[in-house]
Amino acid sequence: MSPYTNLEEYNIEIANDVKKSYSKIIDELGEDVNREGLEKTPERAAKAMMFLTQGYKQDAVEILKSAMFAESYDEMVIIKDIELYSLCEHHLLPFFGKAHVAYIPNGHIVGLSKIPRVVDVFARRLQVQERLTHDILECINNTLKPKGVAVVIEAAHMCMMMRGVQKQNSVTTTSGFRGQFEKIETRNEFLKLISSNLS
Ligand SMILES: Nc1nc2c(ncn2[C@@H]2O[C@H](COP(=O)(O)OP(=O)(O)OP(=O)(O)O)[C@@H](O)[C@H]2O)c(=O)[nH]1
Ligand SMILES: [Zn+2]
């Protein structure tokens, strides 16, 4: 079975329940859900929410395993500036930014595109930034079993921008390091490379 899913594969009953729930919310807010502009909104919103949480239906381990290749290269591999969009589990509002991921192969490399795919699988769930960081880190560490893995996420949280404290420019950084990245020199090399435009 494919580790990826498409919207069409979603359980139609769940999609209909989500649609009905959105209809109720719009009604509770005092709007007319039958007016032209809103008529199709519950369905659109249900599709959008199911797209944004499709990660629950995807298997990040299978994605990595589908493209692991035996290779003796054992230098740092960095995929930086991977854009991500997630939903904060407290307010169901987006948080978004960039992930920087590195690993040091231990006999196997992985298809480069699989790293951003793994980021998306865990981002497309209800998350907190800290758990998202660890989910990505542990998945790569346990599946690829590299000599080291590092994940840094920089993100802005709409729940801190549009409402609440209303801070427009604060960025939250989270990080996790395993194996050789626990050594300060390796970690510093990674941090230097992700802050450079030449890496
Ligand atoms: N640690 C962490 N906190 C988050 C994340 N996303 C949102 N939050 C925080 O979750 C907290 C929820 O706190 P509550 O006091 O229960 O909620 P609230 O009354 O809406 O809080 P305010 O946002 O301060 O108005 C807030 O401080 C949010 O900023 C995240 O990814 N990680
Ligand atoms: Zn929030």
In this predicted complex, what is the ipTM? Answer: 0.93
- Choosing from 9, 39, 71, 89, the catalytic residue is 89
Tens-place pLDDT, residues 151-167: 999 999 999 999 999 99
Mean pLDDT confidence for 16-35? 97
Q: How far is CA 66 from CA 101, 143, 149, in A?
A: 19, 11, 19
154's tokens: 């920089």
Q: Is 89 a catalytic residue?
A: yes
Question: Ligand 1 atom closest to Cα of 164?
Answer: 25
So where are the chain's domains?
7-52, 67-194
Q: Is the pLDDT of residue 7 over 60?
A: no
Tens-place pLDDT, residues 171-190: 999 999 999 999 999 999 99
CATH 1.10.286 at 7-52, yes or no: yes
- Cα torsion 46, 84, 134, 159: sign: negative
Confidence of residue 11 (pLDDT cuts 50, 70, 90): confident
Rounded to the nearest angstrom, the distance between the alpha carbon of 163 and the centre of ligand 2 is 9
Tell which residue, 51, 186, 77, has the closest CA to residue 140: 77
**Ligand positioned closest to the Cα atom of 164:** 1
Residue whose Cα lies nearest atom 26 of ligand 1: it is 90
pLDDT score at 199: 42
The whole-chain average pLDDT of the chain stands at 94
Rounded to the nearest angstrom, the distance between the alpha carbon of 191 and the centre of ligand 1 is 27
pLDDT score at 5: 54
53's tokens: 């949480």
Query: Torsion-angle region of residue 4: left (phi > 0), alpha (psi -120 to 50) or beta?
Result: beta
Residue that the structure tokens 């497309």 belong to: 124
Q: Is 100 a catalytic residue?
A: no
Are 86 and 96 in contact by the 8 Å Cβ rule? The answer is yes
Rounded to the nearest angstrom, the distance between the alpha carbon of 83 and the centre of ligand 2 is 19
Q: Which residues line the annotated binding site for Zn(2+)?
A: 88, 91, 159
**3-state DSSP assignment of residue 84:** strand
Query: Torsion-angle region of residue 92: left (phi > 0), alpha (psi -120 to 50) or beta?
Result: left
Q: How far is CA 48 from CA 24, 41, 42, 96, 164, in A?
A: 17, 10, 10, 16, 24
Q: How far is CA 154 from CA 81, 83, 84, 145, 198, in A?
A: 9, 10, 10, 25, 19
95's tokens: 């948080």
Tens-place pLDDT, residues 90-124: 999 999 999 999 999 999 999 999 999 999 999 99
Amino acid identity of residue 88, one-letter, is: C
Residue that the structure tokens 């890496």 belong to: 199
User: What is the CATH number that goes with domain 67-194?
Assistant: 3.30.1130.10
- Choosing from 91, 108, 134, 189, the catalytic residue is 91
pLDDT score at 93: 98
Tens-place pLDDT, residues 124-139: 999 999 999 999 999 9
pLDDT score at 9: 58
Provide the whole-model pTM: 0.93
Q: Is the pLDDT of residue 13 over 90?
A: no
Q: What's the CA angle centered on 147, arms 141 and 134, to 5 degrees?
A: 25
